[in-house]
Amino acid sequence: MSHPNSFYVTTPIYYVNDVPHIGHAYTTVAADVLARYWRLRGRDVFFLTGLDEHGQKVQQAAAKAGIDPQAHCDKLAPQFQEIWKRLNISNDAFVRTTDAPHKSVVQRYLQELFDKQLIYKADYTGWYCTFDERFWTEKDVTGGLCPDCKRPIEQLSEHNYFFKMGQYQDRLIDHIKQHPNFIRPESRRNEVLGFLTTQKLGDLSISRPKSRLSWGIELPFDKDYVTYVWFDALVNYVSALEYLRPTPSFEQYWPANAHLVGKDILTTHAVYWSTMLMALNLPLPETIFAHGWWTVDGEKMSKSRGNAIDPNKLVDEFGADAFRYFLLREVPFGQDGDFSQQAVISRINSDLANDLGNLLSRTLTLIERCTEGKIPNPALPNYPEEIEVRKIAIGLFDKVENAFNAFQLHHALAEIWKLIDRTNLYLEQMAPWNLAKKEREKEKLATVLYTAAESLRHIARYLYPFLPSTAEVIYRQLGLGAMPLDALKDGSTSERWGGNLQIGNPINKEQSLFPRIIDTIGELGFKKSFEAKLIKKGEPRVTEQPQPASAPPQGTATPAVPTAAPVSPAQITIDEFMKIQLKTAKVISAERVPKSEKLLKLQVAVGTEQRQIVAGIGKKYEPEALIGKTIVIVANLKPAKLMGIESQGMVLAAGDSEVRGLITLLEDVEPGTKVK
């Protein structure tokens, strides 16, 4: 057994000829999250990923390019290594099956099994797919096409070496039944048991003649053959422990705690790899976790469809942490998920910008303004609202730990977001922007701001495995410096309230974490398409109504109504009124306009669009009190400048000479909804 304080996690080794896509990123990010969490818990973690570099397709691609197969692999390998760096993957080692030490381990194990008479030579005739490099039985094939890739196959007859996999069928069934966590999630466990209990497990072809395939690891007992992928690629999980550590570390890390794989290669790992380990008298991994597939806008992702998602482009567009968050929050880990750009933008704007980003921004802004930019002293007794925030923060340890033990990474994020949401609500309830106006409430104000800052410290620690760069930024902005890499080593005691936040310590407020994203493809694309249809039908184009010269400036509390053809000075027609677009908008950020006590500069979300509006409501409202509010704006008012700042709409409010109240909604309505 491995050392009880160690944690060994692996991804599959990816085929070197592939282009890194969202599926590769999903598995590797998930493994990274596990590795980072258990490091926080103080465990000795070894995180392995790498490349499978042998096989017929590599040999053919190299020949086509006119280069040696090894040179071909050396050329392609960096594409994986670079994307892992960009995604902030913290792997401890990167295995390549062309590494000489790996080849040596593979040959040693092959010889051991051959000496035990568990490998034998026999004739074999079957349907062979060159693209997938595998044989299929007669019952698998329909219409002469490969069941997987649907390409034409050919019938081959040749001598090959076979591993006596079938004799381990009953032993493997017993192991799966006795170890409920061996194959996860449970649905995948049931699939493998169904496969093993309803058919006879055959022996496994593990060689290819050099006359057909020379690019592989030579069999130590027959120089005319190379070993096939099963005894090459799968052995990487143990070979890496012999040569990719400063000293051989098999006893320290094996058996692996977690093999993460896609559901398409579950049988390979749960059956082939497990029976190989049994034959070698080696312990089986603690857990093989098979996650689902990603579709793209509801369609299966494939090269032929041209819809494969390049993680490099997503990192360029959204940043590594936002992409990581989307992958693990969008769907329960283990199930299939659907990717769309709109879904990514929605997650970023809603969860990261509105929830997390605004919580950090307004907490630090208030500390900066109200307590000289230093962590305040919570001098007053506890309030019920504060006790609830503290209870959720302290209770987060057990919930997150349980989620990680169950590989429920999406559930861990949901629990973290409960603390984020409750802290945002706490600020709304306590309204520190109002407390700051009253001298007698200074001590209460200090307590509220300390509570928000301490909650953010807890949030940062638990977010670190998922969003490492973001968590470090939060920690740094709270004035805590670098986050300890074993921050949760002592379990729940290390997460006691007020553990590390130093009273009087200066904060380091920086720019916002996640600016909202304007989806110029979604809403604007639709508008253009809609207008084009109107023109095509010969109907007049819908245009913005020009602002009349007598209208009040944008951002004031009284909306301007176009009056192109008034019946009387106090009336307009219904057609004229219908030209005004009233929409809901959610306030993302708010700040005072310098040298004006009346004007506030707001950033608001209108659907997936972000706008800037200057509003004359500063005498009535503090900027912080508006963040998160859903308001009503005139959306199609021509932009104008107020005190040199562009305003792209108008806020609706009640009042005559003075603002008495904003127009808001009783129900929770999505930003960008029409008001009529």
pLDDT at 49: 98
* Residues facing residue 653 across a β-bridge: 662
**Phi, psi dihedrals of residue 162, rounded to the nearest 5°:** -125, 140
**pLDDT digit string, tens, across residues 54-99:** 998 899 999 999 999 999 999 999 999 999 999 999 999 999 999 9
Q: What CA–CA distance (Å, rounded) separates 455 from 509? A: 16
pLDDT at 672: 83
Q: What CA–CA distance (Å, rounded) separates 455 from 448? A: 11
**Average pLDDT value for residue range 308-322:** 93
* Residues facing residue 86 across a β-bridge: none
* Residues facing residue 295 across a β-bridge: 300, 338
Q: What CA–CA distance (Å, rounded) separates 312 from 290? A: 24
* Structure-model confidence comparison of residues 336 and 524, the more confident one: 336
Between 132-141, 424-433, 442-451, the lowest mean confidence (pLDDT) is in: 132-141
Handedness of CA 1, 259, 408, 314 (dihedral sign): positive
* Structure-model confidence comparison of residues 390 and 566, the more confident one: 390
pLDDT at 85: 98
**pLDDT digit string, tens, across residues 474-525:** 999 999 999 988 888 887 666 688 867 889 999 999 888 998 887 544 433 3
Report CA Rg, the chain. 31
pLDDT at 126: 77
Between 31-40, 147-156, 240-249, 369-378, the lowest mean confidence (pLDDT) is in: 147-156
pLDDT at 303: 64
Average model confidence (pLDDT) across the chain? 87
Between 10-19, 80-89, 149-158, 283-292, the lowest mean confidence (pLDDT) is in: 149-158
pLDDT at 48: 98
Does domain 6-291 correspond to CATH entry 3.40.50.620? yes
Peptide bond into 185 cis (omega under 30): yes
Kindly give, in sequence order, each residue whose CB lies less than 8 Å from that of residue 516, ignoring residues fewer than 6 positions away.
348, 349, 353, 354, 588, 603, 605, 610
Between 49-53, 213-217, 575-579, the lowest mean confidence (pLDDT) is in: 575-579
Return the structure tokens found at 351.
Answer: 């969860």
**pLDDT digit string, tens, across residues 102-137:** 999 999 999 999 999 999 999 877 788 877 777 787
**pLDDT digit string, tens, across residues 337-368:** 889 888 999 999 999 999 999 999 999 999 99
What's the topology of domain 551-675?
A: OB fold (Dihydrolipoamide Acetyltransferase, E2P) (2.40.50)
Instruction: Spell out the domain ranges in the chain.
Output: 6-291, 341-495, 551-675
Does domain 341-495 correspond to CATH entry 1.10.730.10? yes
Q: Indicate if the pLDDT at residue 415 is higher than 80.
A: yes
pLDDT at 590: 87
Q: What's this model's pTM, rounded to 2 decimal places?
A: 0.78
Q: What CA–CA distance (Å, rounded) separates 570 from 652? A: 19
pLDDT at 92: 97
The SS3 call for residue 460 is helix
pLDDT at 564: 34
pLDDT at 657: 64
